[in-house]
Structure 1
Amino acid sequence: MDLPFSVLRIDHVVFRVRDLQRSIAFYRDVLGCGLVRQRADLGLAHLRAGASMIDLVDVHGRLGARGGDAPGAAARNVDHLCLRIEPFDEAALVAHLQRHGCTPEGPAERNFGAEGDGPSLYFADPDGNAIELKGAADA
């Protein structure tokens, strides 16, 4: 298979939560994840999980409101899956995704991840799940 990139690892996973502070405490105290960055304006917390990140999005915050109801039996809980890829050639990635019927949001954004700020493209899988392809952090 001729792809314009290689998946290196999962960069981060994003969970939608009802009580951001309670969830931060759980991931910190129970799992030993360290709080790396918090964005109160977005209702977002980034926690270190080994080489990866776990992001927590408050369902009542600016980012969380876009996903609908709070997590539960009938609500979406996982916001998106992020895959760290290399190389990050935006034009090649967009062309590849479009050949496979995917419409990436674009142009690429600079987002925070396990390695720091870097380029990202978002698109949906066939079931509507959000996928993020993330390039290397800024040097």
Structure 2
Amino acid sequence: MTPRLTHIALHLRDLEASIGFYRDICGMNIVHQREDEGTRVVWMAEPGRETEFIFVLIPGGPGRDQAENDFSHFGFALDSRDAVDRVAEVAERAGYLAWPPRQEPYPVGYYCGVRDPDGNFVEFSYGQPLGPSDPDTGSEGGAS
């Protein structure tokens, strides 16, 4: 059997703030929650991908607080440059914007970056080799 990535578990400082971020900024929904020894554990997924890939959110973590030059991130593909701009605007109003929208040569594409409440970088992109198609380059778009 070939392994298949199904989830990422995040041990978070503030579960409720993270649920709000991944719901409001990333468009994910709660698909499962349970009490595990008195601790609420939440699974979140993109609509339509509930059985493919999830984030498991676990409270009580130390936080991440990445350095500005640490480009580790979660990547979300969007269907247009305008969608990237809209996410950046919402993130900026909420105080989450880390990298304003910018265009880079293929395969990077057009992207912006935000920080989740725990300090993790999250990228939103268009025009990368994963995700929706970019008619300007003929490439597929998505996250790095």
Provide TM-score, normalisation by structure 1: 0.38
Structure 1 or 2: more strand by fraction: 1
Identify which of structures 1 and 2 has the higher relative contact order when contacts are C-alpha pairs closer than 8 Å and 6+ apart. 1
Provide TM-score, normalisation by structure 2: 0.37
